[in-house]
Structure 1
Amino acid sequence: MAVSLLDIPGVGAVRQRLRAELFARVAGPRGPENRARIHETAGPRWFGPDRPIRTVHGDASMFIGGLRALLLQSLHPLAMAAVAAHSGYRGDPWGRLQRTSTFLAVTTFGTAQDARAAVGQVRAVHGRVAGTTAAGEPYRASDPHLLGWVHAAEVDSFLRAHQRYGARPLDPAGCDAYLADTARVAEALGVVDPPRDQAALAERLAAYRPELRATREARDAARFLLLDPPLPWAARGPYAVLAANAVALLPSWARSPLRLPYLPVLEATGVRLAGHGLTRTIRWAMDPRAAGEPARTPPGGAAAKAGRTR
């Protein structure tokens, strides 16, 4: 007779505890309320259940992709200046993650009405964010060109993480369809002509390269994210695996300015194997069917680990 892993004494309790802790971290105190609203409210959605954006944003690989996105986005000095001055990522990193988590979940899985409202809220916040970098360069969070960089770095990170660590990697047509899906959200946020396929994304990232550099704020953010996260000691081991895999997914041209290591043999073996093990564990813990819930992706499930600068 086949025996489920959950039939082993204590395993089910461990799974429930891990699931609850993950959900609380990334969804926040309003997580259950938001989850019910997103998944149980009737009405048309921007994306149907078979769309690639749901596959990517609903997978545990987003934990790695989100951190990679934050590191890559920091290389634009205007984007990093806005984050350092206005986001409060050091003082309230979990609150920022939870807001981003909810935005991604609403726009990916929620009703079209709620998605439009979420976009409107973000655009209102962007409209209030402006300033000057330490070098005297003015920035506006609502600048379409700056929003374009944030979007390109984000979707490149999400897609690369999913293709390496996702449960169901996409074929080339699926990758293009994912970018077409995300372009809808990007346009609503104010991005002009966001890339809709892999070729356009590669061209867009290359076009931004001359503007990128690692400022002091970017290197400080990388140290905070990779070496000094606000986590209990028990969680630092798994987080170190997440961080190592996020770094391993960065191109060499992004690592060098941030003073991040390049260890190709270790990354191709131990780091990658550990990354697969971590994402499988998160996926196992977050599976709603194990808790007797409908199969759905809650805000703060895998869809929530994003790095959009907001």
Structure 2
Amino acid sequence: MRTFLTEWQAELKRTLTGSRDALPDWARKFAEGDDAGYFLPGSAVWAVHGGVATIVGGIRSLLMQSLHPGVLAGVHDHSNFREDTLGRLARTTAWIHALTYGSTAEARAAATRVVRLHESVNGTYVDGGGTIRKYSANDPELVRWVHNTFTDSFLCAHELWDGPIPGGPDAYVREWAEAGRLMGVEFPPESKAALNRELRESLAAGTLRGDERVAETVAFIRDPPLHPLLKPGYRILFEAAVLSLEPEYRRLLGLQIARLGPLPLPVRLAARVTLAVVRLALGPASPSRLAAHERLQRLGVA
């Protein structure tokens, strides 16, 4: 039993960070730098991104992002997400943590790397109205959709499965707007109401669509190439992400709330138990947070 638990814990860490036991190199950098960074302990961003519900938020945001055909075209045509799923996940984790816990120089460098990587991601897609459109991964519309769906998904997951947010939901949206600006989003929403309004406008505009490519992507997100030890827990968290989506998004994605006959399954409770086990396995504080505290203490900030 001990060997099983040790292996499960190691695979969980490898999946989330790219390293089974050692501290990831990118996390070590957060102890370096000469300023406090964009966010501090006690901030809404530290509270949300320090919770394990971010796993559900990440799944949810991928599902929502796939509904924009321009975003989906960029992923399908220019990435190796099928062959390097865990690598992409680890790099995304590194980006989130750099902006959350790093110095301003580290955060800006992480954002710049992504923007430069996206410069070569160009092509065409068919929008929800059947019009062929050109795209670049750095197009304001696409970057805004990614930022808004990320913000909404992490906020929603935290509100459902983690504790209170310092300053409330508006504080998280306002603080994380800085990440949007770093990625090129002009005037990102700074309140939950503004965020919800922009998401509703995206739905009403008719750009979003569900099609065969979306169905293929959803099937992959439902059953990614994870270690067998992690798959039972992941299935629960995937269903939790589906549960948290607005009905219109579920319809476009071709998804339904998990049921046993006419009765909905207790997904919310099952996700809470699963996330509690994950929290116990990962420990009370992430290496990124600890490294950031080391920098802040050195600077006399915390």
**TM tier relative to shorter chain:** 0.7 to 0.9
Deviations 1:270-310 (A, max 9, x none): 11110000111111111157xxx9893689xxxxxxxxxxx
From 240, 256, 259, the counterpart of 1:245: 240
Using the TM superposition, give the Cα deviation of residue 20 of structure 1 relative to its aligned residue in structure 2, in angstroms: 2.6
Partner in structure 1 of residue 144 of structure 2: 148
Using the TM superposition, give the Cα deviation of residue 35 of structure 1 relative to its aligned residue in structure 2, in angstroms: 1.9
> Would the aligned equivalents of 1:288 and 1:296 in 2 still touch at CA under 8 Å?
no
Deviations 1:40-66 (A, max 9, x none): 224321111111101101110011010
Alignment of 1:190-229 (within 5 A): 190-209=184-203, 210=205, 211-226=207-222, 228-229=223-224
Distance 1:31-1:131 versus aligned 2 partners, 3 A rule: farther
Structure 1 stretches lacking a partner, 5+ long: 1-9, 300-310
Q: Which letter maps to 1:127?
A: E
Q: Percent identity?
A: 34
- Give the Cα–Cα distance (whole angstroms) in 1 for the partners of residues 67 and 73 of structure 2: 10
Deviations 1:106-133 (A, max 9, x none): 1000111111111111111122111012
Alignment of 1:174-193 (within 5 A): 174-193=168-187
Deviations 1:240-287 (A, max 9, x none): 1011101111111011122111357855x5111100001111111111
Local SS of the residue matching 2:135: strand
- Count of matched residue positions in the alignment of Structure 1 and Structure 2: 281
Q: Which letter maps to 2:245?
A: L
- Give the Cα–Cα distance (whole angstroms) in 2 for the partners of residues 78 and 34 of structure 1: 30
Partner in structure 1 of residue 277 of structure 2: 281
1:296 paired with 2:286, answer no
Deviations 1:182-241 (A, max 9, x none): 100101110111111011001110111122111322111001111x31023332211110
Alignment of 1:85-234 (within 5 A): 85-133=77-125, 136-166=132-162, 168-170=163-165, 173-209=167-203, 210=205, 211-226=207-222, 228-234=223-229
Deviations 1:142-189 (A, max 9, x none): 1111111111111100000000111x2327x42111111110010111
Cα RMSD for the two superposed structures: 2.4
> Would the aligned equivalents of 1:73 and 1:149 in 2 still touch at CA under 8 Å?
yes
Structure number with higher relative contact order (C-alpha < 8 Å, ≥ 6 residues apart) = 1
1:36 paired with 2:37, answer no
Using the TM superposition, give the Cα deviation of residue 82 of structure 1 relative to its aligned residue in structure 2, in angstroms: 0.9
Partner in structure 2 of residue 7 of structure 1: none
Using the TM superposition, give the Cα deviation of residue 33 of structure 1 relative to its aligned residue in structure 2, in angstroms: 1.9
- Give the Cα–Cα distance (whole angstroms) in 2 for the partners of residues 83 and 295 of structure 1: 27
**TM-score between the two structures when normalised by the length of structure 1:** 0.84
**TM-score between the two structures when normalised by the length of structure 2:** 0.86
Name the one with the larger helix percent.
Answer: 1
From 67, 75, 85, the counterpart of 1:83: 75
> Would the aligned equivalents of 1:106 and 1:118 in 2 still touch at CA under 8 Å?
yes
Q: Which letter maps to 1:180?
A: R
Q: Which letter maps to 1:91?
A: E
277-286 or 81-90: which moved more?
81-90
Distance 1:49-1:237 versus aligned 2 partners, 3 A rule: same
